Chains A and B, each alone.
Chain A
Amino acid sequence: MTYILNRLLSVILTLFLITLVTFAVTNILPGDVAMMIMGTQSNPEALAGLRESLGLNDPLLVQYGRWIGGMLSGDWGNSLIFKKPIAELLAQKAVASAIIVVMSMTIALAMAVPLGVWAAVHRDKWQDTVSSTSALMGVSLPDFFWGIVMILVFARWLGWFPSSGFVEPSVDFMGTLRHAFLPSLALGLGLMAHLTRMTRSTMTGILSQEFIRVARAKGLSERTVIWRYALANAIGPVITIAGLQIGYLFGSIIVMEFLFSYTGMGWLTYQALLNRDLPLIQATVFVIAAVVMLTNLAVDLLYVVIDPRIKLG
């Protein structure tokens, strides 16, 4: 219990540190949002006025205080380019990204687990090499590259999936899934290498354990032993690793959602960065960091629950 309390305390501390880092980092970014809003052919007085009214001229400490105060009271402010409450934008885009995160994770696991199991069963044989090589193919090229390949193959040539865009799930749920599929597949390819490797090493460990030998001795078929007994024990650690990949995934969706004009959190973050929309950059970066941190925490706690052998403290 103390362990969990300690963890929660440190979460609050880390969240605070995240706000500090976010604020510091976003404020040293070059660029001028007033200019982005008004465009090149705008007049200087109007620009100066806009900067003043956006509060861009206040001291940094004042801006930080205003930001934290606003967030705590539930007022996340307005996006400068979207001219909408940030909280509303985040809620809307988070759904889109949640779909992509879940879908790409599912795709990655669906490819990685069989590959990893196959490699573990045939450890150090040719199957092992084939498995790890094909798993590594995904991570051997930048994920935006896979994205472009997906667009060409599945949208342009085969015409199976739309090449870009997003549809609200409330409007057309199947449409949402169709739009999410190609970016998820490209992301899944990048994720699966590590998951395959983890499945392989966990399975290798489990397959050498006593209860597997007992199961085999009982005359159970090899298939049952591997898929029913061994995998059931390996899946926990593998899912834990999947959880830890969330941080990597959130980095990748920035480029991927941009490429597919898929309007989720990554797209929002990139738009904010591109347009130097400071309040929005701060909010998206903070939310992404907080989600990553909380996922890591959940994984840690889950680990404690699943595996009582972990030393607490």
Chain B
Amino acid sequence: MKRFLTTKGLIGIILLTVIGLIAIIGPMVIPAEAGTAMDMTARRSPPSLKHLFGTDQLGRDLLIRVILGARTSLQIAVSAVVMSIVLGLPLGLISGYFGGRIDNVLMRLVDTLLAFPALLLALTISAVLGPNVQNTIIAIGVAFTPFLARIIRGEALRVAQMPYVEAARSSGTTDSMIMVRHVLPNILPAVIVQGTISLAFAILAEAGLSFLGLGTQPPAASWGLMIQASRDQLDIAPWTALVPGLAVARTVLGLNMFGDVLRDILDPRSK
């Protein structure tokens, strides 16, 4: 626990806690309608007492939207990363544990997919399925899978050569038992570290898809969509970009810092 208490770890934890609380509590106290309520007499009004963070091009309150957007963006990021872990874990585990031909076949597939830039994959999947929140999750989740499978496979390969796995094998424990009992718990730290950092990338990926019109659909509030909408008013209404931009930046920063510290603690090789 002590190692979390570096400057970096502390900042990371504080950032994530605040944002997590906002994402959970915000939508409980703010009705969803408030996020789309427009005031055409107050379009692009700068931060004031009435609108603490200002308003966007349709006169919507940015404070309310950035709070509601926290939930949308985190929901997409977390679901997508969970999905890529669920898909990538068995792939990587089996590949790394058994090695040999299975490994060869599976890794060829993963290598093939890895050669396609994740954004390109997500773009295509999203274009095929049609744009909405679920499909955004699927697109990002699938696009991230090969990467996670690769990492997990490497870990599984390392753990599979450990003496205690050898011992279990020679004592006749079944392969599936060894994988669940011995390999899985030992690669979990690496998965958690990678998952944390992937969350950051997933938030950025959501923004990227929204930039191209393929992510969350308006008028819903999501950080990516808000940044996208602000892009052609950055010079005349910088707050419309700064509000969601800082929200994304803070979250991504928090995740990365937390991930770094996690890695220092959990990843045996970095000690």
Contacts and interface: CB of A to CB of B under 8 A. Distances in A.
B120 A288 contact: yes
A180 interface: no
A14 B257 CA distance: 36
A145 B120 contact: no
A273 interface: yes
Contacts, number: 129
Interface stretch (A43-51, A134-142, A160-168): A134-142
Nearest to B210: A142
A136 B253 contact: yes
A132 B231 contact: no
Contacts of B116: 18, 21, 285, 288-289, 292
Interface residues of B: mostly helix, strand, loop or mixed?
helix
B152 interface: no
A136 B117 contact: no
B166 interface: no
B118 interface: yes
A144 interface: yes
B63 interface: no
Interface in A121-142: 124, 126, 128-129, 132-133, 136-137, 139-142
B7 A290 contact: no
Residue of A133, A141, A145 ringed by the most chain B CB atoms within 10 A: A145
Interface stretch (B42-50, B79-87, B244-252): B244-252
Contacts of A285: 116, 120
Interface string B96-138: 0000000010001101111111111101100110000000000
A303 interface: no
Interface in B45-95: none
A36 to B, nearest CB: 14
9 contacts: A10-B104, A10-B108, A14-B108, A17-B108, A140-B250, A142-B204, A145-B231, A254-B119, A255-B212
Interface of B: 6-8, 11, 104, 108-109, 111-121, 123-124, 127-128, 200, 204, 207-208, 211-212, 224, 227, 231, 234-235, 241, 245, 248-250, 252-253, 256-257, 260, 270
Interface of A: 10, 13-14, 17-18, 21, 25-26, 28-31, 124, 126, 128-129, 132-133, 136-137, 139-142, 144-145, 148-149, 152, 156, 193, 197, 201, 247-248, 250-252, 254-255, 269, 273, 285, 288-290, 292-293, 296
